[in-house]
Copies of this chain bind each other. A is one copy, B any other.
Amino acid sequence: MIGVSVFGSGRMGWIYAPILQRSSRARLVSVVNPNLSSAEKLTAAHDGRALADPDAALGDPDVGAVIIGTPTTTHLELIEKAAKAGKAILCEKPLDLSLERCDRILEILAEHPVPIMLGFNRRFDPGVAKLREAVAGGAIGALNMLLLTSRDPAPPPIGYVRNSGGYFVDSTIHDIDLACWIAGERPAAVYAAGGCLVDPEIGAAGDVDTTMTVLRMPSGALVHVNNSRRAVYGFDQRIEAFGAEGMLQTENRREDNLLRWDGGRTEARAPLEHFFLERYADSFVHEVEAFLEAVETGAKPPADQHDGRRALAIALACERSRREGREVVPDYGD
């Protein structure tokens, strides 16, 4: 049993706490939030002690690992503390909003080599994982194209958008990570286009809500990503891998398996699962289990700080490409 402290009691904390509670591998020891009453609500609903100070959590010998679900700007400091305290770390994406600070994190972890995993939860979705395994196993021959569609049901509050680092860094970064993971390579150059078609406030904040991205891979494979902050029909999450010997597609998941036919003379399938809490509920579980297993066995976690930095470098190159109308080579720092 690994004692875990969860840093942050916002949206991510409420995802991780019940997963830890149900896991046979872990025990929720503490929840940390400078706003103690927020942490207390989470521990009351689940387990563990509420703490205001991360150092208190890190000083607890019962804590073997921390999950960092705090605002992105705090990741560096918390990773540094946790690494120095020798705790294993599961950190939400993005690692940080700046490559310089990512490099600082890499240095810290080089010096204090604790196990660290990045929360790219979609890798742990059973359908996505099967698709990747099939591609890697040669089921469709050489990969020629990869198409990722990821559209949210509705835009987030504008306050969230303002602190998100921009749409590519906040959201496309998931698709970027999946693309590199599935293709087994990172782009030689990227191009992105985007605009504000959903919510003028997003445009006013200097961000976009509708984008298309192309990643040119060294193998010649081409990757397309499209993102929208609003799909009125629900959370649309699809991947298509097209190769020399075939094609694989993941279907959207639905609320149930009923087909309905009515006097409108149409067949209707059930709505899509509403948003990421529903759609990726089991991917979060598998993610936490993969982290705990890596901690237990000492194996390399399936997504680490280097993956986090790589995805950020690509997302930032997308943003720059969008502004400059040309291909951009990501700054991989190596």
- Do B247 and A261 have beta carbons less than 8 Å apart? yes
Q: A191-B191, A258-B248, A325-B327 are in contact. Are A269 and B271 (CB under 8 A)?
A: no
Contact residues in B for A194 (Cβ distance below 8 Å): 222
- Do A144 and B210 have beta carbons less than 8 Å apart? yes
- Do A197 and B248 have beta carbons less than 8 Å apart? no
The CA of A104 and the CA of B261, in the complex, are separated in Å by 45
Contact residues in B for A325 (Cβ distance below 8 Å): 189, 326-327
Q: A234-B265, A266-B233 are in contact. Are A249 and B258 (CB under 8 A)?
A: yes
Residue on B with the closest CB to A263? Answer: B232
Binary contact readout A184-199 vs B (1 if CB under 8 angstroms, 0 otherwise): 0000010101111110
- Do B267 and A268 have beta carbons less than 8 Å apart? yes
The reply on A251 being an interface residue by CB < 8 A is: yes
- Do B271 and A197 have beta carbons less than 8 Å apart? no
State which of B195, B246, B266, B270 has its C-beta within 8 Å of the C-beta of A270.
B266
- Do A232 and B262 have beta carbons less than 8 Å apart? yes
Binds B, one of A7-15, A124-132, A170-178: A124-132
The reply on A228 being an interface residue by CB < 8 A is: yes
Residue on B with the closest CB to A125? Answer: B257
- Do A258 and B134 have beta carbons less than 8 Å apart? yes
- Do B249 and A259 have beta carbons less than 8 Å apart? yes
The CA of A253 and the CA of B265, in the complex, are separated in Å by 12
The CA of A73 and the CA of B210, in the complex, are separated in Å by 41
The CA of A257 and the CA of B147, in the complex, are separated in Å by 16
State which of B196, B251, B263 has its C-beta within 8 Å of the C-beta of A233.
B263
- Do B265 and A248 have beta carbons less than 8 Å apart? no
Interface of chain A residues 191 through 212 with chain B (CB within 8 A):
191, 193-198, 210-212
The reply on A272 being an interface residue by CB < 8 A is: yes
- Do B221 and A224 have beta carbons less than 8 Å apart? no
The reply on A245 being an interface residue by CB < 8 A is: yes
- Do A261 and B244 have beta carbons less than 8 Å apart? no
Closest 4 CB pairs of A and B: A326-B326, A265-B271, A233-B261, A195-B220
A sample of 20 more A-B contacts (CB under 8 A), given A144-B197, A211-B222, A233-B265, is A144-B210, A145-B212, A189-B325, A193-B216, A196-B220, A198-B244, A210-B222, A232-B263, A246-B260, A249-B258, A249-B261, A250-B257, A251-B257, A260-B266, A266-B269, A266-B271, A267-B268, A268-B268, A325-B327, A326-B326
